[in-house]
Amino acid sequence: MAKVLAQFDEKHGGAIDVQQIDVRENAEAARFYQVRYVPTLVFLDEGGAVLEKKVGYMPLEALEKEWERLGYSLEGGERTPR
C-alpha cells in the first residue's frame, strides 16, 4: 500500500494531503481511528472528520475514484457540491 500512496501523493499531493502512520509505532492513532487491520485507509475531510474508512489494499485507480465518490476534485483539492 505504501507504493500506491506514494504514487497518489506524487500525482495528487497538491490537492490531497497523504499521511502514512505505522500503527505499531503510533498505537494512539490506531486506537483513535479504530484500526484493527493493516492496511486501513482513513479518509478525512479538511477539518479532520472521518469521511470513510476502508480496510485492505486499494489500487491507485480505486483510491482516486474513492476521493471522487466522496465529492473531492483531485485537481484542486476542493470539495465539489453533490
Tell me the pLDDT tens digit for each residue of 9-48: 999 988 899 999 999 999 999 999 999 999 999 999 999 9
Domain ranges of the chain: 2-69
- Tens of pLDDT, residue by residue over 43-57, are 999 999 999 999 999
C-alpha cell at 5: 500512496
CA dihedral 70, 13, 11, 50 (to 10 degrees): -20
For residue 31, the one-letter residue type is R
**CA-closest candidate to residue 74, choices 66, 21, 46, 42:** 66
3-state class (DSSP) for residue 43? strand
Q: What is the pTM of this model?
A: 0.87
| CATH code matching the domain that covers 2-69, chosen among 3.40.50.2000, 3.40.30.10, 3.40.50.20, 3.40.630.10 | 3.40.30.10
Q: How far apart are CA 48 and CA 34, in angstroms?
A: 15
